[in-house]
Amino acid sequence: MKARYKYRIYPNHVQIQKLSQLFGCCRYVWNQSLAHCNQLYADGIKKPSYTDLTKQFITQAKRELLWLKEVASTPLQQSLKDLDQAYKNFFNSCTGKRKGIKVKPPKFKSRKSKQTARFVGANYQINQDKIYLPKVGKIKIVWSRPLASQPTSVTIIRDSANRYFASFVVETCAEHLPKSNNSIGIDLGISTFATLSTGEKIKASLPLKKNLKKLAKFQRKLSRAEVGSKRREKARLKVAKLHAKIKDVRADFLHKLSTKLTHKYDVIVLEDLNVSGMIKNRKLARAISDLGWRQFRTLLEGKAEKYDRDFRVINRWEPTTRKCSCCGFKGGKKDLGVSCGMLRKREWTCLNCGAFHDRDINAAINILNAESVVETVIQPITKVESVIENPVQLSLFNEVAEGQRSIFIGHGAAVRLAVKSKQAAMMCQPTLNLSSNSVCLIDGWESRVVSKSNVGRMSKYRQIPHTIIDWDRLLSRIEEEIVN
């Protein structure tokens, strides 16, 4: 199992100069090769291999450009290896060999963003408080924790807040923690970050929300500074530093929580949330990004592997909110549907067995007990876009006028729904039921109504009858959005 260990390094002025030269050369080699590949592609010629690119853009280029010789050559080769890998990922994603979110073709590197350079093999040396890099020198390093084993490579990073890091890749083996025989279901939410099936509620850290005013102030200063001035660079650094701090606070919170959970429980069950679909909604994007749901899932995945725990993700379409966790009766819907005032309530009573539920805890228990486990990543909905005739997007809150919220649902003779208030949000369900010749696909906040005749052609997409849609969950999310 591979793991990354990242440490802060503190280069002196001379070393900063040399590192920036090194970053510049790596960037130059990458950008030149990429431009060359793009040109060949435009001419209809296949992409050259890594060896060909190395010959042309490192060996040959060094004869003409003497400054390329002033830096170590390993990072330059690694830069081209990365380009080769980026192309491979892109091609595999196009042909469907690589699952998950579509990979875009490699992009040009900018002087202004994060800079990296990688050393491999015996190219660098580490000791008690220094790291030696060829043609740069010995840089001070702070070993905040011991390395698990001998690293295979080190990446030197300069982030936009001008901080320097050394990131090592090491081989580690799984740590076996004693079995606790406890399982946990986790319901993620906006107002409460996580609700555990044990009833515990964990508040979100929301570092961006807390720093929003400060950030706005810094950004205002930045936008007013003259382009190219020293003041602008200072203002840019302030913004970048605040962003870095926000990111660190969030990561710290997620790391601590995921470590705690993996130590305490053998089986961890999470819901498969379509985060990238949800953040397409402009009104929700900031709040959801601030939470870090996706990062949380990635961390749990990694830590479950490290500590040999069972981590599961349940199907996106599993009804978790309206189902009673005591008797399995799917009646919460009716209860919630009586009046919209009920929706705001976070508790409800089961009509079948009379059990009293907290909405989130009930959902967390249902997540824990759910049987459908996602095995493969669902193909993104963009894949089938070309197949749908007249695709119509259900855009929630995209068409918001003052005090008026609209939901558009359509297919052929499109059904248009203007939702003026929360009450009317309830109306979208009966309306959908009316159009019996259509199937509704809801993907996060995005939805399409397609005619049944088209569904057969959409073999790549999971076919779901609209009755499975957890309307209460959807509506409670709408409600949450309105309340916040």
> Which stretches of the chain bind Zn ion, using CB under 5 A?
324, 326-327, 329, 350, 352-353, 355
**DSSP strand pairing (438-443 vs 137-141):** unpaired
Give the residue with the Cβ less far from Zn ion, 236 or 322.
Answer: 322
Phi/psi at 407 (5° precision): -125, 130
Helix (H, G, I), strand (E, B) or coil at 167: strand
Q: Which of 84, 266, 271, 446 is catalytic?
A: 271
Q: How far is the CB of 345 from Zn ion (least distance, A)?
A: 17
195, 187 contact by CB (below 8 A): yes
Active site annotation includes 187? yes
Q: Which of 272, 318, 360, 443 is catalytic?
A: 360
Residue that has been written with the tokens 């052609």 in this structure: 457
Separation between Cα atoms, residue 458 and residue 385, nearest integer Å: 9
Give the residue with the Cβ less far from Zn ion, 33 or 366.
Answer: 366
11, 164 contact by CB (below 8 A): yes
Active site annotation includes 305? no
Give the residue with the Cβ less far from Zn ion, 170 or 355.
Answer: 355
Q: How far is the CB of 331 from Zn ion (least distance, A)?
A: 7
| Token pair in block for residue 371 | 């049987």
Tally: H helices and E strands in the chain? 16, 18
Q: How far is the CB of 332 from Zn ion (least distance, A)?
A: 9
Separation between Cα atoms, residue 293 and residue 282, nearest integer Å: 17
| Token pair in block for residue 38 | 């793009």
Cβ neighbours around 251 below 10 Å, total? 15
Separation between Cα atoms, residue 110 and residue 114, nearest integer Å: 8
Q: How far is the CB of 371 from Zn ion (least distance, A)?
A: 18
Q: How far is the CB of 360 from Zn ion (least distance, A)?
A: 17
Give the residue with the Cβ less far from Zn ion, 244 or 326.
Answer: 326
Cβ neighbours around 144 below 10 Å, total? 9
Determine the straight-line distance between the first and last CA of the chain, rounded to whole angstroms: 42
Tell me whether residue 346 is exposed, middle or buried, using C-beta atoms within 10 angstroms of its C-beta: 0 to 12, 13 to 18, 19 or more: middle
Give the residue with the Cβ less far from Zn ion, 96 or 354.
Answer: 354
| Helix or strand run (H / E) with residue 309 | none
Active site annotation includes 52? no
Q: How far is the CB of 355 from Zn ion (least distance, A)?
A: 5
Give the residue with the Cβ less far from Zn ion, 295 or 352.
Answer: 352
Q: Which of 84, 187, 470, 472 is catalytic?
A: 187
Q: How far is the CB of 327 from Zn ion (least distance, A)?
A: 3
Give the residue with the Cβ less far from Zn ion, 258 or 362.
Answer: 362
CA 308 to chain centre: 24
Give the residue with the Cβ less far from Zn ion, 358 or 481.
Answer: 358
Helix axes 13-42, 74-95, angle to 10 degrees: 40
CA 478 to chain centre: 22
Q: Which positions ≥6 away from 428 have C-beta within 8 Å?
A: 407, 409, 417, 419
DSSP 390-455: S-----SSTTPBTTBEEEEE-SSS-EEEEE-SHHHHTTHHHHHHH-TTEEEEEETTEEEEEEHHHH
Q: Which positions ≥6 away from 377 have C-beta within 8 Å?
A: 99, 100
- Alpha helix segments (H runs only) across 128-229: 207-224
Q: How far is the CB of 320 from Zn ion (least distance, A)?
A: 14
Give the residue with the Cβ less far from Zn ion, 247 or 330.
Answer: 330
Q: How far is the CB of 358 from Zn ion (least distance, A)?
A: 14
Q: Which positions ≥6 away from 70 have C-beta within 8 Å?
A: 21, 25, 135
The residues that are catalytic are 187, 271, 360
